[in-house]
Amino acid sequence: MKRLVYFLLSMFLVFGLLLTNGGISYSAENPIVIGAPLATAFLYGWDAERGIKLAAEEINAQGGVNVGGKKRPFKVEVIDTRDLEPGVPVSEALLAVEKLILEKKADFLIGGPVRSEAALAAMDLLSKHKKISIVTTGTLTPLYNKRVADNYDKYKYCFRNSNTSLNMMNEFVTLLEDMKKTFGFNKAYIMVQDVEHARKGGEFMKKGLTDKGWQVIDMKIYPTGNTDYSLGLTEAKNKGAQILFIWMDMPESAVLLKQWSDMKVKALPLGFVCAAEQPGFWKATGGKGEYLIVNVCNGGNAPAKITPWTMKFVEAYKKRWGLEPEGYGTSSSYMAVYQLKYAIEKAGSLDPDKVINALETLDFMGVYGRMRFDKSHQIIPSFDPKEGAVTCIFQWQAGKRIQIFPPKVAEGKIMLPPWMK
C-alpha cells in the first residue's frame, strides 16, 4: 500500500513539474486562439496558413506564450474567406471574420482577409469586437494604414506587417532607374488585373516612371480570370517597349509569361505576379518564365541570407512542408505569430489595449529585417535590414529564384533573355 502511495505521489510531482517551467505554470486547456481568415484555395492563403501554423508549432514546442506567469499554447483556427475567387462578394469574407470571432472564439486574428476590398470592410468588425488583427497577405492598399492614422481610436486594432502597393512602387522605380543606367531602358508597357491594389499599383507605377522621364506606352487592365494577353503583348512589341510591367495576383497570369516567351517580346517582364512566385512555377511553364523579375513583398518568401533568422525559417519551412516558402504572405504570416507572442509577453496580458501598446513598441530583428511598426501600424520598410523590413525582388534564372534587389541583400545580377541582347 505504501509503495502505491509513494508511486502516486511521485507521479503527481512529475506531472506538476511538466506543467511548470521556472515557476511558470502551463495550461494546455486554455489556449490563445489565433483566427486566420484566408483564401485557402489560393497561394496567398495556403502559404500564409503554413507560415502561421509553423510559428505556432515552434512556439508551442518551446512551452507556449508566457501570459503573466502562465504558459499558454497557441491554437490556430482557419476559415476560408473565398475573397480571391472571381464573383464572390466581400460579405463572404466578412462572414468568415465574424465566425472566427463569435464561433471559434478567436482572441486575435492573423492573415487576411486577403483582398484589399475585403480587408478594408473588415476593419469595422475588428473595431466593433475589439479584436487585434495583423494583416500579412494580399492587402496592399495604402488606405489600410491610412485609416488607422486618420481615425486611430476606432482602428487601433489593425496592424500590417507586410508591404504596401505604394512602397512597392518605390522599390520598382528604384530598381528600374538602376536598370536604365545599366541597360539604357526608358520605355515601359503596363498590364494589370482589374482589382483595387493592382489598378492602384499600375497608376502609381505610371506616374512614378513618367516623373522619372520614362515613356509609358499604355496601361491595359484585364478582368480576373483572363487567359489571353496576345493583343497587349503585340502592342508592346510593335511599339518598342523595353519593360513589361505586370501586376496580377491571379493564377492565369502564368499564361501571360508563356505567351511573352513564345512571342519573343523584347521587353523584360517585371512586377507583382502571383503565379510566378512559387517554386513550382518553373516546371509549370516549362521554363518559359525565365528572366521574369518578381516582387514577393517581404524577404524570406524566397531563399536569401537577409538576417540570421531568414535561412533558419526557410529550412524549417522546407522540413515542415516539403518545399521552399512559396511567395508573398509566407514569412510575414510566420513573423506575425512571433510579433503577437512577444507583444503578449511584454503586456503580460491578452487585454487589447495593453497588447496594442506592446505591438507599437516592439523592435527586434526578424526574418526580413528590423521589425517595428510606425504610428499608422504599418511595418517600417527599408532597403537595409538593419533599419527596417526589406523586400524580396528575385529573378527566375535557370530554374532558381535569385534575389536581385535591394542591393544590400542581393545574391545575383539581372540577366536578359537572348532575344534582348
174: closest CA among 336, 13, 355, 407? 407
Q: Model's pTM, two decimal places?
A: 0.88
- What confidence tens digit (pLDDT) does each residue in 162-195 have? 999 888 888 999 999 999 999 999 999 999 999 8
Distance of CA 41 to the CA centre of its chain: 16
Strand partners of residue 188: 216, 243
Cell of 260: 511573352
* 8 A C-beta contact, residue 328 and residue 297: yes
Q: Spell out the residues 6+ positions from residue 89 whose beta carbon is closer than 8 angstroms to its own.
A: none
The per-residue pLDDT for 218 is: 95
The pLDDT tens digits for 117-171 are 899 999 999 999 999 999 999 898 899 999 999 999 999 999 999 999 888 888 9
- What is the band of 9 on the pLDDT scale with cuts at 50, 70, 90? very low
pLDDT at 2 exceeding the cut of 60: no
The per-residue pLDDT for range 116-129, each reduced to its tens digit, is: 889 999 999 999 99
**Residue 217 above 60 pLDDT?**
yes
Whether the Cβ atoms of residue 97 and residue 125 lie closer than 8 Å to each other: yes
pLDDT at res. 18 = 41
CA distances from 177 to 84, 181, 202, 318 (A): 33, 6, 17, 35
pLDDT tens figures, 103-113 = 999 999 999 99
Are 383 and 299 spatial neighbours (Cβ–Cβ below 8 Å)?
A: no
Q: In the chain, what percentage of residues exceed pLDDT 90?
A: 75
- Region 397-415 average pLDDT: 95
**20-163+305-371: which CATH number, 3.40.50.2300, 3.90.1410.10, 3.40.50.12780, 2.30.130.40?**
3.40.50.2300
Cα–Cα distances (Å) from 134 to 27, 161, 348, in that order, read: 25, 7, 19
Q: How many residues does the structure list for the chain?
A: 421
Q: Give the confidence band of 96 by pLDDT, cuts at 50, 70, 90.
A: very high
Query: What dihedral do alpha carbons 100, 105, 111, 113 form, nearest 10°?
Result: 30
DSSP class of 349: S
For 52-70, how does the pLDDT look when each residue is reduced to its tens digit (9 = 90+)?
A: 999 999 999 999 999 999 9
Check whether 5 has a pLDDT greater than 50.
no
Cell matching residue 338: 512571433
Strands 243-248 and 187-193: parallel
Q: How confident is the model at residue 14 (pLDDT cuts 50, 70, 90)?
A: very low
Half-sphere exposure of 44 (CA within 13 A, CB side): 33
Instruction: List where CATH 3.40.50.2300 sits in the chain.
Output: 20-163+305-371, 166-296+392-420
Rounded Cα–Cα distance for residues 236 and 306 (Å): 36
**What pLDDT score does 8 carry?**
41
The side-by-side arrangement of strands in the sheet containing 65-67 is: 20-21, 24-26, 70-72, 65-67
User: Cell 492602384 maps to which residue?
Assistant: 200
Return the CATH architecture of domain 166-296+392-420. Answer: 3-Layer(aba) Sandwich (3.40)
pLDDT score recorded for residue 28:
58
